[in-house]
Chains A and B, each alone.
Chain A
Amino acid sequence: MLFAIKKLTKVYGNRTVLNLPDLVFEKEIIYALQGPNGSGKTTLLEIMSLLLPPSTGTILYNNKKIDFGNTDLTPLRREIVMVQQNPVLFTTTVYKNLEFGLKIRGIPRMERQKIVQESLDLVGMREFSNAQAHRLSGGETQRVAIARALACSPRVMFFDEPTSNVDVENQIVIERIIQDINVQKKISVIFTTHNLTQASRLSHDVISLFDGRQVHSTYENIFAGRIVEDQAGRRLCLIRDEIGLSLDTEKAGPVRLTIDPLKVTLLRPQEAEGKENIFDGRLTQLSEEQGLVRAVVNIGIPLYVLLPKQSLKERGLTVGDPVKVLCPPEAIHVF
């Protein structure tokens, strides 16, 4: 176990920006922290990289509790490096930027040279070694920042939105680097993204955050709703007062709910007879994602569905077709 988070909160004034009762990260795995802006991804990353103390709760790193009250967390920080969303490079050469982490660790000059060159090779930036760092482009800066972090030989690397400010070419390079350092150097990687496709493509496990809390679904299918009882005494969750989802819950009044896109099914109209939580919709978008098909269905609200290619092929569904959407109770999570 790499990190274990227990009852962690981060509060600014009266606002709780992070509230995580229990979360575990295993070693040598790539995790994606995914969620919309303001979901608490960066705050969690900064706490785990020991740059920000939590308001309450504990974090275990390699089964040892991190003491945020201790003023000098430097020895621990030397195992964990974070690459920020918009990284800054020190106002000097690329070489000296990479050398910084090694110098403060007391690594001899010859060894430093070797490590710097190796790290620059890994990100394809060797020819920039003597360039002034602040004159590089956004993508080059990001790659040098990754090389600078790598040069420190960390056990864990955090990336905050690693590709949000770079062009497609650099995006591909950076994603390849993240996978390489995990496979070749056995470095555990945790990165944030608001791009679900990237999260699924790059990571072994996706952790979704919304409003500072972990949600057991992707944030794409998160809705605000209201729990009501119908005339037959069934409990329904009304979304926008139009769509009523039948579900089993003790909660009442306004709620938020997620619908797991992997548990939603698309059916032909004739297949849907006699089933609960069936909605009429129209297929508006289809794309491929890691062997699955991501479909967007308009049922009055846009609903994201992930389904096997075979399922789509069998039903012969294409964009524009009318469909029935089945949301079984186990796909719905109210919080």
Chain B
Amino acid sequence: MSFLVDSFLSALLLLWSFDPELYFVIYVSLKVSFSSTLIASLLGVPAGFLIAFKEFRAKRFLITVLNTFLALPTVVVGLVVYAFISRRGILGILDLLYTQTAMVIGQVILIFPVVACLTIAAISRIDDRYRRTAMTLGATPFQTALVVFREARFAVIAAVIAAFGRVIAEVGISMMLGGNAKGYTRTMTTAMALEYDKGEFVLGVALGMVLLLISFTMNIFFNTVQGKTGA
């Protein structure tokens, strides 16, 4: 127990001392995670919205497929992307392996189904009377869609936050596609895994605290926005 307390106190000191290595790892983590969340949201939110809003033949099948991909292990994504971008892969010429771009690609694949599925759930829960109200008030089909989206906005934001939480805490893709290169692709989770292998816990605990702090801040932000609009 005292070992854990010691690690915790040393971690606090490390954070307080503004250790450049620690803060660069945090920077890379945030940069990669924000990039992948942004791209996955730009793709997943409209896709989820269209799937939920429109009626088409393969709708249920598509939702089932997306739900299946929710359980996709990070190492499987890492493996598949690796097969494409390694030197022997068809995209090997792009020289993406062990870069932050490769990590972003893998993470987008990982969280696209999360964003899309949670957006589908958010839109599907919106009472159909909102759609009909917008229509009867003279809204065009596009304006009607915007009304429905607006009513689902908080659930969609929650979907994006959940997706961000998934990527910032994942280790498999970052390790396999980023390679945990110090000062380049090392993220909080890969650094923690390395520290564990070395039997050094101080940096690991410090990074764990930062991870929790980021998650806490995101949720406070979300609750504040929600509270201000009275929803």
Contacts and interface: CB of A to CB of B under 8 A. Distances in A.
Contact of B136 (A71, A77, A92): A77
A318 interface: no
A12 to B, nearest CB: 16
B28 interface: no
A104 B229 CA distance: 22
A87 interface: yes
A233 B214 CA distance: 91
A105 B129 contact: no
Contacts of A309: none
The CB with the most chain B CB atoms within 10 A, among A72, A100, A152, is that of A100
Interface residues of B, number: 20
Interface stretch (B9-17, B18-26, B51-59, B143-151): B143-151
B129 A87 contact: yes
Given A72-B141, A84-B129, A51 B151 contact: no
A102 B136 CA distance: 13
B138 A51 contact: no
21 contacts: A51-B132, A72-B141, A74-B141, A78-B138, A81-B138, A82-B136, A84-B133, A88-B133, A90-B130, A90-B133, A90-B147, A90-B150, A91-B150, A91-B231, A100-B139, A101-B138, A104-B139, A104-B140, A104-B143, A105-B138, A135-B230
Given A90-B150, A135-B230, A51 B139 contact: no
A51 B135 contact: yes
A91 B151 CA distance: 7
A82 B150 CA distance: 21
Nearest to A82: B136
Interface in B139-193: 139-141, 143, 147, 150-151
Interface in B54-82: none
Interface of B: 127, 129-130, 132-141, 143, 147, 150-151, 229-231
Interface of A: 49, 51, 71-72, 74, 77-78, 80-82, 84, 86-88, 90-92, 100-101, 104-105, 132, 134-135, 148-149, 152
The CB with the most chain A CB atoms within 10 A, among B129, B136, B150, B151, is that of B136
Contacts of B137: 81, 100-101, 104, 148-149, 152
Nearest to B132: A51
Nearest to B133: A88
B116 to A, nearest CB: 23
B140 A51 contact: no
Contacts of A78: 138
Nearest to A79: B138
